[in-house]
Amino acid sequence: MKNRRNLYLAALILSGLCFAGCGDDDENGKLPEQELSEEYYTGGKLGTTFNSTSFAYEQPTAVVDESPELLLQFKRGETLFEHEFTSNTEGVRRGLGPVSVRSSCLSCHPGYGHGKRMDRYRAKDSGNGYLLVVTDANDNYVSQLTGMPQTQAVYPYLPPIDESGIKIEWKNYTDEYGNVFPDGETYSLIYPEVTIERSAINVPMPDFYKVRLEATIGIYGTGLIDAIPDDSIIAQYQYEKSLGFTLNDAKYLPENFIREADGTSHPGRYTYGLTRGTLQNGPGANAIWNITNVTRSDRRYHYITTAYATAMSQNSDIQEKLGKTEQEIYADLMSRELPAEMSDNDYIDFMVWHRGLAVPAARNLDDPTVKKGKEKFYEIGCTACHRPSWTTGADKYTGDPMVKDKLPRYPYQKIRPYSDFLQHRLAMVNDIRTGWCRTTPLWGRGLSEKSTGASEHLHDMRARNYNEAILWHGGDAKLTKERYRNLSKTDREALIKFLESI
């Protein structure tokens, strides 16, 4: 977050002094002059920011902004997201040992949004938001590697994967329509193929393994998504089921709900895989431990596998450099009683920041082209999965005792994420693991280029723009895609203008 209050003040002052030329520069966090329709409040009245600058994804919600105490915590938490952790044994932001996926959250979530499409995998390449997904012949994660495999190690350890052996190739794809719209306009599609040389992997591997990429998802607004009642998500599942959609039914058997520390269980709502049901045990709360391998009081162990600990402890070079025996190294690596590197207070600040991020307000909704595009978006059935709005509940869940009663809340807000928070199979070549992918929220994505320097889409960033993203839709979305293909060029462009404005 960059000096929101100052920008806000400057904008208020400037708004009285505006001459020709400053008409479209009214975006620095200034509140709208005339009463905007409710539809502009993408994150509801409590969760929307009117900042649409390159810092649009980094702003606090009104709940945080209005509480000096929360705002201070938010700012402290923000540094834990933005700054690099180090392998130091003293001082701030300690971690990374013995192995890590990245040194900071921001290195994968540039500008707090999606990452960039990349031609190579290097943990140090800024904006590389990719996770490696390494699976076996049954499409299960290879158990010798962590679910999020690491390519960084602290001396003298070796990384599980040496990244010089990772290769990303982008292949051309011709769809069943020969990459031509009915009106004759052509397009091109590409998708990634990833391999890792066996010799670059420092743990034993099965005979067959396959590698794919998963790209980051925006972080803003995840606190508002957290406030949607479980029952509403289950009702959406039942509704789409009644419409005949093919859904990942196993996820909605109560015995498969995600169990939390407080004994409650919840249907998944976060990540492409719907693997997380609450923010308090969400992708961020876990990432601050496993991405950076930072221990905290409730996680006093490393994010590594026994296969890795075995391989490293048996490595004579490592034994020599550490001056320790195999048994000692193994015990160190697998210890469940490591000192906490992150204090409880830091973790609480981090979670206040996490639940405190606002969603950028919609823009240009009264523009005639945008209005036309909206009509088309509804008419051709995109809203079946990109459900426009949800209403949050009482927002009283307190799962994790560490943050109990400390996080900002968003009761009874009408929010507009444009997602059903369910998974579909869009049936694309070299698809995501299992083929099931949560509908990605579309809110705020139009600001991606401005906020992150990149505007690719889909789970592995194969779509270089909105048009390509839509053209990759198959499975239950095929009919809708065909309707899109049959729109006039002007209407297709209007639909995309609408997507850019929400």
Footprint of ligand HEC on residues 69-88 (CB under 6 A)? 81
Nearer to ligand HEC, 206 or 435 (CB): 435
User: Is residue 145 a contact point for ligand HEC (CB under 6 A)?
Assistant: no
Nearer to ligand HEC, 229 or 435 (CB): 435
Tell which one of 56, 153, 358, 382 touches ligand HEC (CB under 6 A).
382
Q: What is the x/- site pattern for ligand HEC, positions 216-255, by CB under 6 A?
A: xx-x--x---------------------------------
Stretch that binds ligand HEC, among 52-60, 102-110, 334-342, 360-368 (CB under 6 A): 102-110
Please give the structure tokens belonging to residue 468.
């390509």
User: Is residue 271 a contact point for ligand HEC (CB under 6 A)?
Assistant: yes
Q: What is the x/- site pattern for ligand HEC, positions 178-217, by CB under 6 A?
A: ------------------------------------xxxx
Q: How far is the CB of 381 from ligand HEC (least distance, A)?
A: 6
Q: Which residues make Cβ contacts (< 8 Å) with residue 55, sequence separation at least 6?
A: 1, 2, 4, 111, 451
Calpha distance 140→145 (Å, rounded): 11
Calpha distance 415→41 (Å, rounded): 7
Calpha distance 442→46 (Å, rounded): 19
Residues in contact with ligand HEC, counted by CB under 6 A, come to a total of 52
User: Is residue 288 a contact point for ligand HEC (CB under 6 A)?
Assistant: yes
Please classify residue 82 by burial: count the beta carbons closer than 10 Å to its beta carbon, then call 0-12 exposed, 13-18 middle and 19+ buried.
Answer: middle
Sign of the torsion formed by the C-alpha atoms of 51, 52, 55 and 56: positive
User: Is residue 357 a contact point for ligand HEC (CB under 6 A)?
Assistant: no
Calpha distance 362→457 (Å, rounded): 19
User: Is residue 311 a contact point for ligand HEC (CB under 6 A)?
Assistant: no
Stretch that binds ligand HEC, among 91-99, 198-206, 380-388, 392-400 (CB under 6 A): 380-388
Nearer to ligand HEC, 4 or 296 (CB): 296
User: Is residue 142 a contact point for ligand HEC (CB under 6 A)?
Assistant: no
Between the two ends of the chain, the Cα-to-Cα distance in Å is 21
Asked if 413 and 391 count as a contact pair (C-beta separation under 8 A), the reply is yes
Nearer to ligand HEC, 159 or 273 (CB): 273
Tell which one of 7, 71, 105, 352 touches ligand HEC (CB under 6 A).
105
- Cβ count near 310 (within 10 Å): 18
Residues 487-494: contacts with CB under 8 Å, at least 24 apart? 487/376, 487/380, 488/183, 489/181, 489/183, 489/185, 491/372, 491/373, 491/376, 492/181, 492/467, 493/369, 493/373, 494/369, 494/370, 494/372, 494/373, 494/376
Q: How far is the CB of 111 from ligand HEC (least distance, A)?
A: 13
Asked if 421 and 438 count as a contact pair (C-beta separation under 8 A), the reply is yes
Q: How far is the CB of 400 from ligand HEC (least distance, A)?
A: 15
Calpha distance 70→66 (Å, rounded): 8
Tell which one of 112, 484, 485, 497 touches ligand HEC (CB under 6 A).
484
- Site of interaction with ligand HEC (CB under 6 A): 81, 101-102, 105, 107-109, 129, 131, 214-217, 219, 222, 270-273, 282-284, 287-288, 291, 380-382, 384-386, 424, 426, 432, 437, 439-440, 442, 445, 457-459, 466, 469-470, 473, 476-477, 480-481, 484, 499
